[in-house]
């Protein structure tokens, strides 16, 4: 993506988080840029604590250090996963489990592992 990604908040919080414990839930923590932005933004609102939980983690891809990732489902390789809500071009999202997508063929014709 070239390092010029912008984070755009479409919906702000409805509740005041001052003096509250905040848990951010992410599907994947990769570079950490999005999580870093959210943590810094929420810290301005003076929560008591702030932590993050993620289903999939790729700590070796971090561009930001010192993230409060406290709960991790799985540390995964730098490969594409589909199913369980994850998709590629709107395909395979409905699978009941996570599967590794092998893209040895042209995109859109990948094989599920």
Which residues are identified as catalytic? 30
Q: Residue 53 contacts by C-beta under 8 Å, 6 or more apart in sequence?
A: 23, 24, 25, 26, 69, 70, 71, 72
Buried residues in 3-32 as b, exposed as e (16+ CB within 10 A): eeeeeeeeeeeeeeeeeeebebebeebbeb
């Amino acid at each position: 993506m070239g390092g010029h990604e912008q984070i755009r908040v479409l919906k702000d919080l409805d509740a005041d988080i001052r003096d509250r414990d905040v848990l951010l839930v992410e599907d994947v923590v990769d570079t950490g840029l999005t999580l870093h932005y959210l943590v810094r933004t929420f810290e301005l609102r003076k929560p008591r604590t702030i932590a993050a939980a993620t289903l999939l983690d790729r700590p070796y891809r971090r561009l930001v250090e010192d993230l409060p990732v406290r709960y991790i489902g799985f540390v995964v390789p730098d490969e594409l996963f589909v199913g369980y809500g994850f998709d590629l071009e709107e395909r395979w999202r409905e699978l009941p489990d996570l599967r590794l997508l092998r893209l040895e063929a042209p995109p859109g014709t990948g094989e599920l592992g």
